[in-house]
Amino acid sequence: MDSGDEQLFAEQREKFGRIARLIDEATEIVICAHTDPDGDALGSGLALEQIISQHWEGKHVTSLLADDAPVPRLYRFLPGADCFVRASDYAGTPDLFIVVDLSVAPRLNRAQAVLERSAHVAIMDHHPCTAPFGDVALIRPDAAAAGVIIAEFGLFLGAHITPEIANCLFCAIVTDTGRFQYQNADSEAFECASMLVDAGASPSMISLNVYQSFRLAYLHLESVVMGRIVTFDHGRIAYSYATRNDLERTGARPDECDGLIDVVRSVEGSEVALFLKELPDGRVRGNLRSKGKHDISGVARLLGGGGHKAAAGFTSEDGIDATLATVLPQLQAVLHAADEGRDVVPTNPQMKLELGKGV
């Protein structure tokens, strides 16, 4: 551990102490992660709920879902997943609202109203954030997953990490690191994972549920998306998409599509990847990934989204073609700026690509 790490951990310990004091003083506590929850959002929130419930007596802890949609099918195996309450069905007035795996309030969707009537707010997140809110904001963009922070909070408290908590946290870390394959898979993530396996987490059970339990309908959609992958800019940019019609034809559901960006990013030689999915209401959801040094979060922000340097997302009101025409030149600009040693991302939304030319 170098001195930078030590300072970071001292800061984390100080914030853990403040969050623990907020929990001491609260009775009604809610925990909520971001809209369109992924394995980290769900696993971290459920683990935190269980840590608080068993470490403190007399707390009433509720895990909220930001959206009205149910828990995505692949994550329903998580211990406690059947106890989520939809934020729009929650009528309480919390003493403490703990925001997990996000730090921009609009990403709380329906839970924003609950946040506004909460007496205190704490954030435990790993997304880069320029305007943190709440009484305590523990935001560590260097942490591979929110699950890493929650695991360390458990250790800080001296809480008993049960096999159920360990499975929730292992799922959080394995999914946010892309099965320990992405650039964020650092020694801290491996150390946490090791501690969680010692505490009873089952990596094979989690892999079976998250990576080997796809419905055939989804796999048929994956083959459509795979067959449609295009590379661009000498193979450095790979992209593909799924239309509403593809989903209808194959019978796949929008909440099953999280892994499709991984299919696109697997192209040899590609440096950045884009996957677009047309939503039932006609909007387009975009996933962006960088496989190396490039920071694609600025492109996501330009489209009204956000995320990390290497993994970001956005939602566009335009159709698939128009979104491609906006995003592809922006990605190209990121690569070219890096080639020329510039790190400023050009942000000219007028810059459009004439599809069919140069693709």
End-to-end CA distance of the chain: 46
In the region spanning residues 54 to 113, those forming contacts with ligand 5GP, defined by CB under 6 A, are: 104, 107
CA angle 212, 75, 19 (to 5 degrees): 135
- Which range of residues in 35-43, 72-80, 239-247, 351-359 is near Mn ion by CB under 5 A? 35-43
User: What is the DSSP secondary-structure string of 185-200?
Assistant: --HHHHHHHHHHHHTT
Q: Cα(177)–Cα(22) distance, rounded to whole angstroms?
A: 30
Q: Cα(276)–Cα(242) distance, rounded to whole angstroms?
A: 6
Q: Which is nearer to ligand 5GP, 161 or 267 (CB)?
A: 267
* Residue 308 binding result from ligand 5GP, Mn ion, none, given CB thresholds of 5 to 8 Å by partner type: ligand 5GP
Verify binding: residue 291, ligand 5GP, rule CB under 6 A. Answer: no
* Side-chain half-sphere CA neighbours of 39 within 13 A: 26
Per-residue contact string for residues 70-109; x = within reach of Mn ion by CB under 5 A: -------------------------------x--------
What contacts 139, CB < 8 A, 6 or more positions away? 103, 123, 125, 126, 127, 129, 132
The single residue among 313, 323, 328, 332 that binds ligand 5GP, judged by CB under 6 A, is 313
Burial (CB < 10 A; 0-12, 13-18, 19+), residue 132, is middle
Task: Give SS3 for 137.
Answer: strand
Q: Which is nearer to ligand 5GP, 15 or 308 (CB)?
A: 308
- Least distance to ligand 5GP from the beta carbon of 181, Å? 15
Per-residue contact string for residues 20-59; x = within reach of ligand 5GP by CB under 6 A: --------------x---x---------------------
Both structure tokens of 55:
């470490």
Both structure tokens of 108:
């709380």
Per-residue contact string for residues 233-272; x = within reach of ligand 5GP by CB under 6 A: ----------------------------------------
* Residue 277 binding result from ligand 5GP, Mn ion, none, given CB thresholds of 5 to 8 Å by partner type: none
The single residue among 140, 277, 294, 308 that binds ligand 5GP, judged by CB under 6 A, is 308
Q: Which is nearer to Mn ion, 125 or 233 (CB)?
A: 125
Handedness of CA 95, 97, 98, 103 (dihedral sign): negative
Interface with ligand 5GP (CB under 6 A), residue total 15
According to DSSP, residue 8 is labeled H
Do 11 and 119 contact (CB within 8 A), yes or no? Answer: no
The single residue among 172, 196, 276, 311 that binds ligand 5GP, judged by CB under 6 A, is 311
- Which range of residues in 69-77, 117-125, 185-193, 313-321 is near ligand 5GP by CB under 6 A? 313-321
CA-wise closest residue to 273 among 161, 174, 182, 152: 182
What contacts 168, CB < 8 A, 6 or more positions away? 42, 43, 44, 46, 47, 50, 78, 79, 80, 147
- Least distance to Mn ion from the beta carbon of 57, Å? 30
Do 254 and 232 contact (CB within 8 A), yes or no? Answer: no
- Least distance to ligand 5GP from the beta carbon of 54, Å? 28
- Least distance to ligand 5GP from the beta carbon of 107, Å? 6
Q: Which is nearer to ligand 5GP, 257 or 335 (CB)?
A: 257
Number of residues that this document lists for the chain: 359
Residues of the shown chain interacting with Mn ion in the complex, contacts defined by CB under 5 A: 40, 101, 146, 176
Task: Write out the residues near ligand 5GP by the rule CB under 6 A.
Answer: 34, 38, 104, 107, 127, 287, 305-308, 311-315
